[in-house]
Structure 1
Amino acid sequence: MGLRRSESGFYWVWEANRGKPVGQNATFAFGTDGNLVLADADGQVAWQSNTANKGVGNFVWQSFHHPSDTLLVGQSLRAGGVSKLVSRASEVENKDGSYSLVMEPKGLSLYYKSKNSPRPLLYFTSSKWINVQKGSLNHVTLKASPDTQEGFAYDLSLDYVEGNSTTGGNVLLARPKYNSTSTFLRLEINGNLRLHTYYRILRYGAWEKLTSCDPKSFHYYKVEGVDHFLSKYTKGDSIKESDCAKKCTLDCKCLGYFYNQDTSKCWIAYDLKTLTKVANSTHVGYIKAPNH
Structure 2
Amino acid sequence: MYAVEYDAYHRIISGLDASFYSTAPFRLCFYNTTPDANIFAIRAGFTRDEDIERLVWDANRNDPVRENSTLTFGRDGNLVLADVDGRIVWQTNTANKGVTGISLEPNANLVLHDKNGRIIWQSFDHPSDTLLVGQSLKIDGRTNKLVSRTSDVDGRDGPYSIVLDKKGFTMYVNNSGKLLQYGGWRGEGLLNVTFDAVPEDQSITAYELVLAFTESQQPNIPSTSRHLLQSRPVSNSRGIILTKLNYNATYSFLRLESDGNLKILTYYRNTSYLKWAETYAFFGDEVRECGLPSKCGSYGYCDKRMCIACPSPKGLLGWSEDCKPPPTPTCKSGGAAANYYKIVVLEFLHVGVEHFMSPYDEGEGPMKVNDCRDKCSKDCKCVGFFYKEESSKCLRVPLLGTLIKNVNTSRVGFIKYLK
1:52-103 per-residue CA deviation (whole Å, 9 max, x = no partner) reads 1113534200112211000011011012331000001111112101100111
Contact kept in structure 2, 1:154 and 1:176, CA below 8 Å? yes
Give the deviation of 1:215 after TM superposition: 5.7
Q: Quote the residue 1:223 is aligned against.
A: none
- Which protein has the larger Cα radius of gyration, Structure 1 or Structure 2? 2
Q: Which residue of 2 aligns with 1:100?
A: 161
Structure 1 match to 2:273 = 204
**2:138 is aligned with 1:78:** yes
Deviating more after overlay: 196-205 vs 39-48? 196-205
Letter in 2 for 1:123: Y
Tell me which amino acid in the other structure corresponds to 2:216: G
2:86 to 14, 31, 43: 43
For residues 280 and 212 of structure 1, the distance between their equivalents in structure 2, rounded to whole angstroms, comes to 30
Corresponding residue of 1:226: none
* Corresponding residue number in structure 1 for 2:185: 126
Residue identity in the other structure for 2:127: P
Query: Offset at 1:38?
Result: 0.2
Q: Which structure 1 segments of 5+ residues have no match?
A: 221-229, 238-243, 249-253
Q: TM-score, normalised by structure 1?
A: 0.73
Q: 2:209 aligns with which of 156, 168, 171?
A: 156
| 3-state secondary structure, aligned to 1:64 | helix
Question: Does 1 or 2 have the higher relative contact order (CA < 8 Å, sep 6+)?
Answer: 1
Taking a change above 3 Å as real, the CA distance of residues 180 and 264 of structure 1, as seen in their structure-2 partners, is farther
C-alpha displacement at 1:3, in angstroms? Answer: 1.5
Q: Where in structure 2 are the equivalents of 1:1-16 lying within 5 Å?
A: 1-5=42-46, 6=49, 8-16=51-59
1:22 paired with 2:101, answer no
Determine the structure 1 residue equivalent to 2:14. Answer: none
Tell me which of 342, 353, 362 is aligned to 1:276. Answer: 342
61-70 or 167-176: bigger deviation = 167-176
Distance change (3 Å), C-alpha of 1:217 and 1:142 = farther
Contact 1:138 1:164 survives alignment (8 Å): no
Native 8 Å contact 1:143 1:157 kept in 2? yes
1:28–1:37 CA contact under 8 A, matched in 2:
yes
**Separation in structure 1 between the aligned mates of residue 309 and residue 190 of structure 2, nearest angstrom:** 33
Matched, 1:245 2:303: yes
What secondary structure, in the 3-state scheme, does the structure 1 residue paired with 2:304 have? helix
Secondary structure at the residue paired with 1:155? Answer: strand
Please list every run of 5 or more consecutive structure 2 residues that lacks an aligned counterpart in the other structure: 1-41, 99-113, 219-235, 291-295, 329-339, 361-419
Partner of 2:353: 286
| Distance of 2:214 and 2:251 partners within structure 1 | 23
SS in 2 for 1:60: strand
- Between the aligned partners of 1:21 and 1:144, the Cα distance in structure 2 is 33
1:137 equivalenced with 2:137 (yes/no): no
Instruction: Give how far 1:197 is off.
Output: 1.0
Cα pair distance change 1:205/1:277, threshold 3 Å:
closer
1:217, distance to aligned residue in structure 2 (A):
9.4
Q: Which deviations, in whole Å up to 9, do the C-alpha atoms of 1:172-219 show, x marking residues without a partner? A: 00001222111100000000000111122211352111213476998x
Distance between the aligned counterparts of 1:247 and 1:162, measured in 2?
A: 35
Which consecutive aligned stretches of 4+ in structure 1 deviate over 3 angstroms post-superposition?
Answer: 213-218, 256-260, 262-271, 277-280, 282-286, 288-291
Instruction: Trace 1:166-205 onto structure 2 (pairs within 5 A).
Output: 169-205=238-274
Structure 1 CA distance for aligned equivalents of residues 311 and 248 of structure 2: 41
**CA gap 1:164/1:123 in 2 versus in 1, 3 angstroms:** closer
Q: For residues 63 and 279 of structure 1, do their structure 2 counterparts lie closer, same or farther at Cα, with a shift above 3 Å needed? A: closer
- 1:217·1:290 contact (CA, 8 Å) conserved in 2? no
SS at match of 1:175: strand
Calculate the TM-score normalised by the size of structure 2: 0.53
